Amino acid sequence: MRDVAIIGAGSTKFGELWGQSFRSLGIEAGMKAMASAGLSGEEIEAIYIGNMSSRFIKQQHIDALVADYTGMAGKHVASTSIEAGGASGGVAFRQGVMAVASGMHDVVIVGGAEKMTDLDDDSVNEVMNGTSDADWEAGMGISLTSLYAMIARRMMADGIATREEIAACAYNSHYHGQFNKDAQFRKEIKLDTILRAGPTAEPLTMFDGAPISDGASAVILCPLDHAKRYTDKYVKVASTAQASDTLALFQRDSITSFGATKAAAAKAYADAGITAHDIDVAEIHDDYTVAGVMALQDLGLYEKGGKAFLDGDTKFDAGKIAVNTSGGLKAKGYPIGAAGVSQIVELFAQLTNTADNRQVPNAKYGLAQSVGGTGSAVTVSILEAM
């Protein structure tokens, strides 16, 4: 198996981008990633795209759409679209790594994109709730938000995290979001603002959930020993792992921990030959605050995830394991298919020492965790500075 490098990365701004289409967003992110790698489109052999739902834009065959509108269809580049709910971007990244590792392709672009704001909120929520069990959860009227609210209740009842500690996950993301010029929300917020906001599913409020967003991200991969042909700024993919769990939350033994995160993390650490203690910076899937708390614990990054957020241990300059320096899904924005790829974009910046005003000092190992549904699919990827 060949070692794989990331040689370029780029994102559009995330937000309510009324003036941009799915097509234009994908092109912008791809062009930025290629510019960052010093590549022309001519060298790209394969495209992988994370996209959560064709229902948002009523277009199937996103693979062909992207090949076409990036001009790659002219030379018949292989293009593949992956759907794994919120983990779509993370799974697409792993498939891209596999394509290079296998020797089937040399230069691969992995993109993630979603255009969600062209539908009304009810329709968007209907599609998103489709990532839970359509027959036994969504079909019975339960929403993703209410599933995560149940997790929060259980966590609080079991003494795993207090309401304030859970809310602190959103505080941490908004704190970092102020430094990221591409983030949807760029304002620090007070813990009190989160706690007193309108309830969505109690105990969660408006500020416990990531926003509905448009946006796209892309990264370029090649064999590690080709990387220097293109750039001096590259990062090694130390490992990438993926795990599944039951589609419905009620079928699990525990709902305050995601088994798929633990399984993927164990594999990713083993394959990279490191432990959680070696990680310097992590991008985790905070689509809900409570998911962020679980992530820190299931990944072994912090024993008490909520406390780490509340104590500020997760800030980029705290000298501990920095978390969601990009602003996370909560403040950076959550165009679903782009999320997992945007995490890699942030880690690429951190590990090439180009993260500007939010640079984690001497970052050597970065970890990205991408989650679909209520932990039904999880990818964990570990990147290493070169």
Q: Which of 11, 12, 53, 325 binds its own copies (CB under 8 A)?
A: 53
Q: Which of 29, 52, 222, 238 binds its own copies (CB under 8 A)?
A: 52
Does position 62 interact with its own copies (CB under 8 A)? The reply is yes
CA 9 – CA 199 distance, rounded (Å): 37
Residue whose CB is less far from its own copies, 70 or 117? 70
Does position 352 interact with its own copies (CB under 8 A)? The reply is no
Q: Which residues pair with 322 in a beta bridge?
A: 281
CA 90 – CA 378 distance, rounded (Å): 8
CB 256 within 8 A of CB 296: no
Piece of the chain touching its own copies by CB under 8 A; list 129-137, 176-184, 192-200, 208-216: 129-137
Q: Which of 17, 372, 383, 385 binds its own copies (CB under 8 A)?
A: 372
Instruction: Locate 319 and state its tokens.
Output: 């000298």
Does position 73 interact with its own copies (CB under 8 A)? The reply is yes
Contact positions with its own copies (CB under 8 A) in 221-250: 241-248
CA 132 – CA 194 distance, rounded (Å): 26
Does position 80 interact with its own copies (CB under 8 A)? The reply is yes
Residue whose CB is less far from its own copies, 4 or 183? 4
Residue whose CB is less far from its own copies, 180 or 374? 374
Site string for its own copies, 15-44 (x = CB under 8 A): ------------------------------
Q: Which of 82, 116, 124, 345 binds its own copies (CB under 8 A)?
A: 82
Q: Which helix (H) or strand (E) holds 240?
A: strand 235-244
Shortest Cβ distance from residue 213 to its own copies (Å)? 17
Does position 251 interact with its own copies (CB under 8 A)? The reply is yes
Residue 50: how many CA atoms within 13 Å on its side-chain side?
37
Does position 140 interact with its own copies (CB under 8 A)? The reply is no
Does position 79 interact with its own copies (CB under 8 A)? The reply is yes
- Work out the angle at residue 289's Cα, subtended by the Cα atoms of residues 352 and 354, and round it to the nearest 5 degrees: 10
- 41 burial type by CB count under 10 A (0-12 exposed, 13-18 middle, 19+ buried): middle
CA 386 – CA 365 distance, rounded (Å): 10
CB 122 within 8 A of CB 128: no
Does position 295 interact with its own copies (CB under 8 A)? The reply is no
Piece of the chain touching its own copies by CB under 8 A; list 9-17, 170-178, 337-345, 369-377: 369-377
CA 142 – CA 146 distance, rounded (Å): 6
Residue whose CB is less far from its own copies, 73 or 197? 73
> How would DSSP label each residue in 109-174?
EEEEEEE-TTS-HHHHHHHHHTTS-TTTTGGGT--HHHHHHHHHHHHHHTTS--HHHHHHHHHHHH
CA 247 – CA 143 distance, rounded (Å): 14
CA 50 – CA 318 distance, rounded (Å): 33
Piece of the chain touching its own copies by CB under 8 A; list 28-36, 52-60, 297-305, 341-349: 52-60
Instruction: Locate 209 and state its tokens.
Output: 């959930």
For 256, list phi and psi in degrees, rounded to 5. -105, 15
Shortest Cβ distance from residue 363 to its own copies (Å)? 26
Task: State the residues that interact with its own copies by CB under 8 A.
Answer: 1, 46-47, 52-55, 57-65, 67-68, 72-73, 76-85, 91, 95, 98-99, 101-104, 127, 130-135, 138, 241-248, 251, 259-260, 263-264, 372-373, 376-377
